Amino acid sequence: MVADILSDAFLAAVAGTGFGAVSRPPRRAFPFIALLSGVGHALRFCLMTLLGVDLATASFFAALFIGLGSLVFGGKIHCPMTVLYIPALLPMIPGMYAYRSIFALVMLMQQFNDPVLAAQYLERMLMNATVTVSVVFLLSLGATLPTFLFPRRAYSLTRKRPSGN
Amino acid sequence: MKSEEVKEIAAFIAEYAACLLGSGVHTSRVIRNSGRIGESLGVEIRMTTLHKTFVLTVSEETNGHSFTRVVDIPAFGVNFDFNASLSSLSWEAFDGRLPLETIRFRYGQILSRGLLSPWVVLGMVSLANAAFCKLFAGDWVAAGVVGLATAIGFFIRLEMQRRHINHFITFTLSAFVSSLCASLCLWLGHTPEIALATSVLYLIPGVPLVNGVIDIVEGHTLTGFSRLIQAVLLVICIACGLSCSLLLVKNSLL
């Protein structure tokens, strides 16, 4: 079990850092992106396998954790929250559901003349698309929430001098 | 303050805000950063942002000078380094009361900074997508094939972007080629579906998607929706590319 969690965290860290590289973050941000992606994804894995939480709720709380983490680390390395949390969220994109809804759409077009099969594919497409959209929305919402909870800190992460000087 | 000075500040803020909006920074941050620099220079900044242009008014109280500009937003591609460094610059200007020449000089320094080599990015993205495939419980063969498929697809994307070929065509073609390469897994390994599903995920426009949601919840609904619509169009392009591959191999998948 522990090995599963660790490998989950490691793979997510690699995925988060690599996807983050496309967005050209400052070099000092990479270790923290890796840390947040790894721990965030492992947290979702634990919530789902150990506590039996559903995918959408688990994603929301993992994203909330990543958002809070980016608030803490962002102040340390003077990076806006989005620089750290957007790459860290990417490994949590529900790719299999997205794929299944596209596959169902392709098959629906092939089976248009068979109402029974077509209805099945339509149902599968809608179900998977709903999961995909909900999870993606909850992911971005969860990570953004800390901005509204701690606006003062969130808005001055890139300030190098402590206020009052 | 002289009218010329206000004009110069307006020219700089126009460039600064355009650079931020063009490199994937959400609206409220751009407005805050620009306003902060304006405040440190003694002028008031008001902005209205749209997707391709923004309207900027710089005004000054004592003599009542004010300038309004409609500025085009360039398409730089997402750059988090600009986001972090230019935000820092606005605080430095604010805390240190820097004169405009100094701010402009630092701004130039940040913009001329070297980027991560595209080949390094290509390697990292391929590795990332292979790890992603493992994360979805794909086998090692699938992970290897996905890594390779990503490298080929990303190379095509880089080449097409360098030639300024239309974004939508670039994304569709990259997704098609990547998923076609990944369909090799139908004959190798045991998890062809996972390989096909993950092979195109490196193309997902995560930054505009999240920025769109941030803009909307912060009340910049118009900008947020335009960002989301652009991102969703790219996702549809990815889906089209993937669908083309699926049409070719669907009989082996059923």
What is the predicted ipTM?
Answer: 0.89
CB contact under 8 A, B206 and A90: yes
A140, A151, B19, B99 from B92: Cα distances, Å: 30, 20, 18, 11
Quote the pLDDT of residue A161. Answer: 66
Provide the token pair at B53.
């242009």
B23, B113, B120, B178, B233 from A27: Cα distances, Å: 17, 12, 13, 28, 31
Q: How far apart, in Å, do the first and last CA atoms of chain A sit?
A: 50
B94, B124, B197, B215, B226 from A108: Cα distances, Å: 58, 36, 18, 35, 30
Do B158 and B84 share a structural domain?
A: no
Do B127 and B76 share a structural domain?
A: no
CB-based contact (8 Å) between A25 and chain B? yes
* Chain A residue with Cα closest to B120: A21
Give me the count of residues in chain B.
254
Sign of the Cα pseudo-torsion (B231, B232, B238, B241, in order): negative
Counting runs of H as helices and runs of E as strands, what totals does chain A give? 7, 0
Do B210 and B152 share a structural domain?
A: yes
Measured CA to CA, the distance from residue B228 to residue A91 in angstroms comes to 20
CB-based contact (8 Å) between A105 and chain B? yes
* Chain B residue with Cα closest to A106: B243
Identify the segments of chain A with pLDDT beneath 50. Answer: 164-165
Quote the pLDDT of residue A162. Answer: 56
Measured CA to CA, the distance from residue B42 to residue B61 in angstroms comes to 9
CB-based contact (8 Å) between B239 and chain A? yes
Partners of A159 on chain B (C-beta within 8 Å) are 88, 91, 95
CB-based contact (8 Å) between B216 and chain A? no
Measured CA to CA, the distance from residue A67 to residue B40 in angstroms comes to 30
Domain that holds residue B196: 118-253
**Residue entry with tokens 């965290």:** A9
Return the bridge partners of B71, or none: B54
Do B143 and B100 share a structural domain?
A: no
Do B101 and B122 share a structural domain?
A: no
Q: How many domains does chain B have?
A: 2
Query: Of B47, B82, B111, at which residue does a domain stop?
Result: B111
CB-based contact (8 Å) between A143 and chain B? yes
Q: Residue B70 above 50 pLDDT?
A: yes
Do B107 and B163 share a structural domain?
A: no
Do B123 and B102 share a structural domain?
A: no
- Average pLDDT on B185-190 reads 86
Closest Cα to residue A79, out of A161, A17, A151, A160?
A160
∠ CA A72-A75-A79, nearest 5°, is 110
Do B133 and B78 share a structural domain?
A: no
Tally Cβ neighbours within 10 Å of residue B228: 18
Provide the token pair at B77.
């591609």
Quote the pLDDT of residue B115. Answer: 81
Return the bridge partners of B57, or none: B46, B68
Do B140 and B77 share a structural domain?
A: no
Provide the token pair at B206.
């995560």
CB contact under 8 A, A106 and B250: yes
CB contact under 8 A, A22 and B87: no
Please state, for a pLDDT cut of 70, what percent of chain B lies above it.
Answer: 100
Measured CA to CA, the distance from residue B184 to residue B143 in angstroms comes to 12
Query: Of B63, B82, B111, at which residue does a domain stop?
Result: B111
Query: Of B83, B111, B139, at which residue does a domain stop?
Result: B111
Output B155 or B190, whichever has higher pLDDT. Answer: B155
Q: pLDDT digits over B72-124, tens only?
A: 999 888 999 999 999 999 999 999 999 999 999 999 999 998 788 899 999 99
Do B245 and B131 share a structural domain?
A: yes
CB-based contact (8 Å) between B176 and chain A? no
Quote the pLDDT of residue B62. Answer: 87
CB-based contact (8 Å) between A63 and chain B? no
Provide the token pair at A15.
């995925």
Do B16 and B103 share a structural domain?
A: yes
Distance from the A6 Cα atom to the nearest Cα atom in chain B, whole angstroms: 12
Distance from the B2 Cα atom to the nearest Cα atom in chain A, whole angstroms: 30
CB contact under 8 A, A106 and B32: no
Distance from the A124 Cα atom to the nearest Cα atom in chain B, whole angstroms: 14
**One-letter amino acid of B81:** D
Provide the token pair at B231.
């991102």
Measured CA to CA, the distance from residue A22 to residue A83 in angstroms comes to 12
CB contact under 8 A, A24 and B81: yes
Please name the residues between 185 and 204 in chain B that touch chain A, using a CB distance below 8 Å: 193-194, 196-198, 201-202, 204
Quote the pLDDT of residue B77. Answer: 87
Do B100 and B29 share a structural domain?
A: yes
* CB contact at 8 A, B199 and B181: yes
Measured CA to CA, the distance from residue A63 to residue A68 in angstroms comes to 9
Tally Cβ neighbours within 10 Å of residue A129: 17
CB contact under 8 A, A144 and B213: yes
Q: What angle separates helix A30-50 from helix A81-89, to the nearest 10 degrees? A: 50
